[in-house]
Amino acid sequence: MRVLVVTGEASGDAHAAKVVRALQARGATVTAVGGPAIAATGAHLLERIENLSVVGFVEVAARLPRLWSLGRRLQDALRRHEYDLFIPVDFAGFNLRVAAAAAAARVPVLYYIGPQVWAWRAHRLATMQRVASHVALILPFEKPLYDGAGIPATFVGHPLLDDAAPPEAPPDADLGLFPGSRAQEISRHLPLLLQAARRVRSAHPEVRVLVSRAPTVDARAMATTLRAHGFDPATTLADEPARCSMQRCRALLVASGTATLEAALSERPFAVLYRTNPINYAIVRRLVRVPYAALANLVAGESVVREYLQGDATADALAREATRLLEDETERQRQILAFRRTRARLGEPGGSERVAELAVATARMPVGAA
């Protein structure tokens, strides 16, 4: 079985890599657009996500020529039937166009981590109905939406549950900073987080700070920013899986994204922040239909952790919240109990194997069959 896998950002790369390994164990040959996690599987990479990944209506414009060129290459390959199955992983703005070409060429499409139609752009359900042979869902509240639209879909469980939990050990840091996995997120979040950490340490000099670096982010650039704010990268910058860094800390400040679920699974009290281009934020505020930004809150169905978005994300506000999370034991225990309820909602481990089984079944399915 010849499989094309396409993702466009760090969490999708990590999740897709588990599926790639499961497919390879079943004898599949995998070609991919991905990052370091998929590269480590030995799959043939057509393009690196570091060259593609952006967030926002404004920022994507600079990447359009590269995205268009890659899209044409993939669509042409699907029309030539170079692959038996296409697995798009999230990255909907790009992947839906490629999936349409696959469907037109009668190449089966197993969409893994479907578009966030529960948050915005619900019209994409109609597109999914036309192009997807099957959808593998990772969030429990998604399936009723797909069922209602007549789209074959399976809740496979969240891929983070397949990650081995780091061994329990006493924390060796107090405040963990998780600025994101894209260069533009680092530029907006890291200086802000470091300013907040300096405010915390000015009142509590004993506080130990750790900064997590995603594998898709340049280490030298992060180190330069740390030095500019008075932090030693040698003792502060962590080059390890985010979950490992989280379990080393007593409290966290986390950029909105998949990392908020990792923090919940790590059972470390945290707060969420996010800043983007003001034009992006104004557009998103008009379009988004959900009450929370953080996946951890959305899965919980309640406001478990505080969210500091755009203008509310200031160094003073984040410093106050970090101090509260470090000192208020009642709040810490409230969050930890809520995280355990969230964990129970994410399904069971083994989701990546279930996706691989769906892939085998979908590849054998006539295109257009339910």
0.95 surpassed by pTM: no
**In a domain? residue 167:** no
**In a domain? residue 81:** yes
**In a domain? residue 170:** no
Q: Looking at residue 46, what is its pLDDT?
A: 96
Is residue 285 exposed (0-12), middle (13-18) or buried (19+ Cβ within 10 Å)? exposed
93 and 110, same structural domain?
A: yes
**In a domain? residue 268:** yes
The C-alpha atoms of residue 370 and residue 367 are separated, in whole angstroms, by 9
Task: Please state, in angstroms and as integers, the Cα–Cα distance from residue 66 to each residue in 39, 50, 63, 70, following that order.
Answer: 20, 12, 6, 6
223 and 301, same structural domain?
A: yes
Q: Which domain holds residue 34?
A: 2-157+348-363
179 and 299, same structural domain?
A: yes
**In a domain? residue 162:** no
Please list, in sequence order, all residues whose beta carbon lies within 8 angstroms of the beta carbon of residue 209, skipping any fewer than 6 positions away: 173, 174, 175, 176, 177, 197, 200, 201, 231, 236
**In a domain? residue 332:** yes
Q: In what order do the strands lie in the sheet with 175-178?
A: 237-238, 209-212, 175-178, 251-255, 270-274, 307-309
Q: Looking at residue 370, what is its pLDDT?
A: 40
Instruction: Please name which of 200, 160, 135, 122 lies closest in space to residue 15, comparing C-alpha atoms.
Output: 160
Task: Please state, in angstroms and as integers, the Cα–Cα distance from residue 201 to each residue in 178, 209, 231, following that order.
Answer: 17, 9, 11
248 and 105, same structural domain?
A: no
264 and 192, same structural domain?
A: yes
25 and 137, same structural domain?
A: yes
CATH number for 231: 3.40.50.2000
180 and 146, same structural domain?
A: no
283 and 188, same structural domain?
A: yes
Q: Which tokens in the block code for residue 219? A: 């280490």
**In a domain? residue 169:** no
201 and 335, same structural domain?
A: yes
230 and 97, same structural domain?
A: no
Instruction: Please name which of 223, 232, 219, 269 lies closest in space to residue 247, comparing C-alpha atoms.
Output: 269
pLDDT of the chain, 370 residues: tens digit per residue? 999 999 998 889 999 999 999 999 999 999 999 999 999 999 999 999 887 754 544 455 556 788 899 999 999 999 999 999 999 999 998 999 999 999 999 999 999 998 888 766 778 999 999 999 999 999 988 999 999 999 999 999 999 999 988 888 889 999 999 999 888 899 999 999 999 999 999 999 999 999 999 988 999 999 999 999 999 999 999 999 999 999 999 999 999 999 999 999 999 999 999 998 888 777 677 767 778 889 999 999 999 999 999 999 999 999 999 999 999 999 999 999 999 999 999 999 999 999 999 999 999 987 754 4
**What total of structural domains would you count in the chain?**
2
**In a domain? residue 164:** no
65 and 6, same structural domain?
A: yes
325 and 210, same structural domain?
A: yes
Q: Looking at residue 95, what is its pLDDT?
A: 96
